[in-house]
């Protein structure tokens, strides 16, 4: 069975997005600063190497409606995600939603599939699409929490950025009795990267 992984960046006070998320600021106020480690790191740095490795070995993804974007409610068909015509996934992406939509084929091998039957069904479809490769739970916070509650995530790479957001979307809220075994830790000036095995 596929290995199910998640990589997500969190503030020191436990938020993966700031307050007042919107189409203009999908990560909320100051939320973009969470990802400085990926986009502002010096060439040749450990953060650059880690950022380049994100997605390696992944055969399919699952993400929440908010991460794909486009606002709540019925789909505005002109919305095609935040990433332009060539999203960075290059694989099947299964979007959890309450509103049906036809699959959206993009450049570079990414196809977004919109799943209305719940997280278990989305994971089942992602496993089938991934073959023997990993399934990655891409986020956002609510999506990750659903899979933590289901006990479906095998490994979590938690990137902790040295900033406080004050409020927003918490990662570890109402996830039940989840236990972690620390496997690897990498520190840089822009983030601490810790890999955990989820202990069931």
Q: Is residue 9 part of a domain?
A: yes
Q: What's the whole-model pTM score? A: 0.95
Domain that holds residue 103: 4-15+28-70+86-199
Q: Is residue 139 part of a domain?
A: yes
Length of the chain: 200
Do residues 112 and 68 make contact, with C-beta atoms less than 8 angstroms apart?
Answer: yes
d(CA 136, CA 58): 6
**pLDDT tens profile 23-42:** 888 999 999 999 999 999 99
Q: Is residue 78 part of a domain?
A: no
- Residue 157: both structure tokens together: 């790479």
Do residues 168 and 15 make contact, with C-beta atoms less than 8 angstroms apart?
Answer: yes
Q: Is residue 80 part of a domain?
A: no
Q: Is residue 178 part of a domain?
A: yes
**More confident: 69 or 24:** 69
Task: Taking residues 107-116, report their average pLDDT.
Answer: 98
Q: Is residue 21 part of a domain?
A: no
CATH number at residue 175: 3.40.430.10
pLDDT(97) > 90:
yes
Number of structural domains, the chain? 1
């Amino acid at each position: 069975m596929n290995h199910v992984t998640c990589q997500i960046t969190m503030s020191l006070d436990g938020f993966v997005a700031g307050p007042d998320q919107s189409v203009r600021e999908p990560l909320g106020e100051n939320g973009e600063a969470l990802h400085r480690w990926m986009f502002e790191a010096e060439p040749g740095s450990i953060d650059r190497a880690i950022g380049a490795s994100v997605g390696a070995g992944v055969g399919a993804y699952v993400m929440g409606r908010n991460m794909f974007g486009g606002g709540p409610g019925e789909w505005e068909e002109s919305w095609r995600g935040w990433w332009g015509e060539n999203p960075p996934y290059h694989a099947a992406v299964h979007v959890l939603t309450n509103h049906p939509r036809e699959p959206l084929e993009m450049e570079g091998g990414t196809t977004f599939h919109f799943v209305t039957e719940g997280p278990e069904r989305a994971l089942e479809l992602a496993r089938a699409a991934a073959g023997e490769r990993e399934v990655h739970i891409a986020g956002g916070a609510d999506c990750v929490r659903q899979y933590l509650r289901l006990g479906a995530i095998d490994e979590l790479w938690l990137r902790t950025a040295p900033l406080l957001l004050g409020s927003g979307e918490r990662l570890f809220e109402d996830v039940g009795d989840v236990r972690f075994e620390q496997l690897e830790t990498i520190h840089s000036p822009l983030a601490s990267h810790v890999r955990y095995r989820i202990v069931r």
